[in-house]
């Protein structure tokens, strides 16, 4: 369905709750910081798993098996994310976004920092990987509702015609976190001996993350609640009514939209959102996590190459992310999804062959192109698309749960499957191509079957489809 065919139920009626430009800036900074912290953890662990964790926490294993176990421990964090998404998402829809975003960043940040003080396998044996798993579970529990909450908050703050470009700040947070983590690792590998990095240097970035956590907590403490949450028909005195209370209230006030939303199951909205997220998350796990191990271990290139290509690609992403967000505002997010995923499918084979060539210049070109198109470009649209697709009453819960269930399947399992498949295929790049194709095609199909959802009234309790 084209933009011109958008149903009447998707017209925009902006909330009347007053918010200043300063409030919007604080909301944007808050979302950016939380997302930066989440993806800093994501990349810190990804690089640590690729470069040192296999030696620190799985020292008794064969090197190839140790890499698979490192990636499996990374994937364990995704087990807790759907649980955290449901628990914190429900709270966010019930008591407001601001309070929940304070809790999620606190839990996530403390767990990330504590990884930096863990004992190693050599010091305490099997207790070391066990503690690592526990902290990954705590990280996942907090992170399960962090980026979703940040996206919902910014979507509900931003003017309808500029939601995409403003919400792209959340995606820029993913880029900043990735860039910071990669830069720290690149500096460590450049200025320290490898033995010192393995002995104690790897702890520095995890412990240093505490500074960002404290700043983010300070910003969120003074943040005002989402104006859309305050404008919801089912929110009385800052708290959402229960289902039975809402039925009675909507019946008494003849609130047709709310009564319709209570009877309407958001099945199509859930399925479309799931596969949009599944495609982006799967690409992210393969490209930002496993591909670094592939470059470092399978292709046997210098350890500094992996962090370096991520840094350069992330810098370019500072242009890619807001550009795609603006294009989504201009031409509609559904249309941009179709364009970006189609382009991604075309680029998979040439970019992977460029990386597999082992020629440093081509490795950089291949990674930068596929990372910006298949990961960063899709992330820019995803952060605003999911909140727009769902209705006001359960927006936080459904956005968070759909994101994390898709992530646990795609991002949590993808790197493990890739590592095992590539090992079985004696280092072939073909398994990576196939997996990237499956993930990207899923997002393309979801976009094709969906109606346009851009710019709809976010106070509407009904889903967009």
With b for 16 or more beta-carbon neighbours within 10 A and e for fewer, the 225-238 pattern comes to bbbbbbbbbbbeee
Mean pLDDT rounded to a whole number for the chain: 86
Which pLDDT score is estimated for 409?
Answer: 87
The tally of CA atoms less than 13 A away on the side-chain side of residue 156 is 31
Residues 6+ apart with CB under 8 A from 302: none
Mark 277-292 as b/e (b = at least 16 C-beta within 10 Å).
Answer: bbbbbbbbbbbbbbbb
pLDDT at 231 over 90: no
What pLDDT does 189 receive? 82
- Percent with pLDDT over 70 in the chain: 92
According to the model, what pLDDT value does residue 63 have?
A: 63
Q: Who wins on pLDDT, 46 or 445?
A: 445
DSSP 8-state code for residue 141? H
- pLDDT tens digits for 54-71? 677 766 655 666 666 666
Q: Alpha-carbon Rg of the chain, whole angstroms? A: 22
Residues 6+ apart with CB under 8 A from 93: 240, 393, 394, 395, 396, 397
Tokens of 338: 């179709």
Half-sphere exposure of 432 (CA within 13 A, CB side): 32
Token pair belonging to 241: 């009514």
The average pLDDT across 373-389 equals 94
What's the rounded Cα separation, in Å, for the pair 328 and 336?
6
Report the SS3 class of residue 239: strand
pLDDT tens digits for range 74-90? 667 778 889 999 999 99
Rounded distance, CA 264 to CA 321, Å? 34
Instruction: Choose the CATH number for 21-449 among 1.10.3720.10, 1.20.1250.20, 1.20.1560.10, 3.40.50.2300.
Output: 1.20.1250.20
What per-residue confidence (pLDDT) applies to 61? 58
Residues sharing a CB contact under 8 Å with residue 244, sequence separation 6 or more, in sequence order: none
pTM: 0.82
- Determine the pLDDT at residue 59: 61
Rounded distance between C-alpha atoms, residue 111 and residue 77, angstroms: 11
Q: Is residue 236 within a helix (H) or strand (E), and if so which, with residue range? A: strand 235-236
Answer for the pair 395, 269: CB distance below 8 angstroms, yes or no. Answer: no
Distance CA 148, CA 31 (A): 10
**47 to 17, 112, 183, 199, 203: CA distances (angstroms):** 44, 14, 11, 16, 12
Which of 203, 198, 188 minimizes the C-alpha distance to 56?
Answer: 198
> pLDDT tier at 1 (50, 70, 90 boundaries)?
very low
pLDDT for the residue numbered 4: 40
Surface-to-core class of residue 276, CB atoms within 10 Å of its CB (0-12 exposed, 13-18 middle, 19+ buried): buried
By C-alpha distance, which of 19, 12, 216, 199 is closest to 108? 216
Distance CA 224, CA 189 (A): 42
């Amino acid at each position: 369905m084209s933009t011109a065919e958008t149903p009447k139920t998707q017209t925009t009626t902006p909330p009347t709750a007053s918010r200043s430009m300063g409030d919007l800036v604080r909301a944007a900074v808050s979302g950016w910081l939380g997302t930066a912290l989440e993806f800093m953890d994501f990349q810190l662990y990804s690089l640590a798993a690729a470069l040192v964790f296999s030696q620190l926490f799985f020292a008794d294993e064969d090197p190839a098996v140790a890499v698979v176990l490192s990636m499996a421990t990374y994937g364990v964090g995704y087990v807790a994310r759907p649980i955290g998404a449901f628990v914190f998402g429900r709270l966010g829809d019930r008591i407001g976004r601001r309070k929940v975003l304070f809790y999620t960043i606190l839990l996530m940040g403390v767990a990330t920092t504590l990884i930096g003080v863990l004992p190693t396998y050599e010091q305490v044996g099997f207790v070391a990987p066990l503690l690592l798993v526990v902290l990954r579970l705590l990280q996942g529990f907090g992170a399960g509702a962090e980026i979703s909450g940040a996206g919902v908050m910014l979507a509900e703050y931003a003017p309808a015609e500029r939601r995409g470009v403003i919400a792209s700040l959340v995606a820029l947070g993913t880029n900043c976190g990735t860039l910071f983590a990669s830069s720290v690792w690149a500096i460590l590998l450049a200025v320290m001996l490898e033995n010192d990095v393995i002995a104690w240097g790897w702890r520095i970035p995890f412990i240093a993350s505490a500074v960002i956590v404290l700043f983010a907590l300070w910003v969120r403490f003074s943040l005002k609640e989402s104006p859309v949450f305050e404008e919801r028909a089912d929110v009385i005195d800052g708290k959402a009514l229960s289902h039975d209370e809402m039925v009675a209230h909507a019946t008494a006030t003849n609130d047709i939209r709310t009564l319709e939303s209570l009877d309407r199951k958001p099945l199509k909205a859930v399925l479309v959102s799931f596969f949009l997220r599944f495609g982006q998350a799967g690409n992210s796990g393969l490209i930002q996590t496993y591909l670094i191990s592939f470059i470092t271990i399978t292709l046997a290139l210098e350890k500094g190459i992996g962090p370096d290509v991520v840094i350069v690609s992330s810098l370019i992403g500072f242009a890619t992310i807001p550009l795609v967000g603006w294009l989504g505002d201009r031409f509609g997010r559904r249309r941009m999804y179709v364009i970006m995923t189609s382009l991604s499918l075309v680029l998979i084979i040439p970019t992977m062959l460029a990386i597999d060539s082992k020629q440093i210049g081509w490795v950089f070109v291949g990674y930068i192109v596929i990372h910006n198109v298949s990961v960063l470009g899709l992330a820019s649209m995803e952060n605003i698309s999911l909140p727009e697709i769902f209705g006001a009453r359960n927006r936080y819960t459904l956005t968070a749960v759909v994101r994390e269930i898709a992530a646990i399947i795609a991002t949590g399992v993808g790197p493990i499957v890739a590592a095992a498949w590539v090992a079985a295929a004696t280092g072939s790049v073909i398994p990576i191509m196939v997996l990237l194709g499956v993930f990207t095609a899923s997002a393309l199909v979801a976009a094709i079957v969906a109606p346009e959802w851009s710019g709809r009234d976010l106070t509407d309790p009904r889903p967009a489809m």
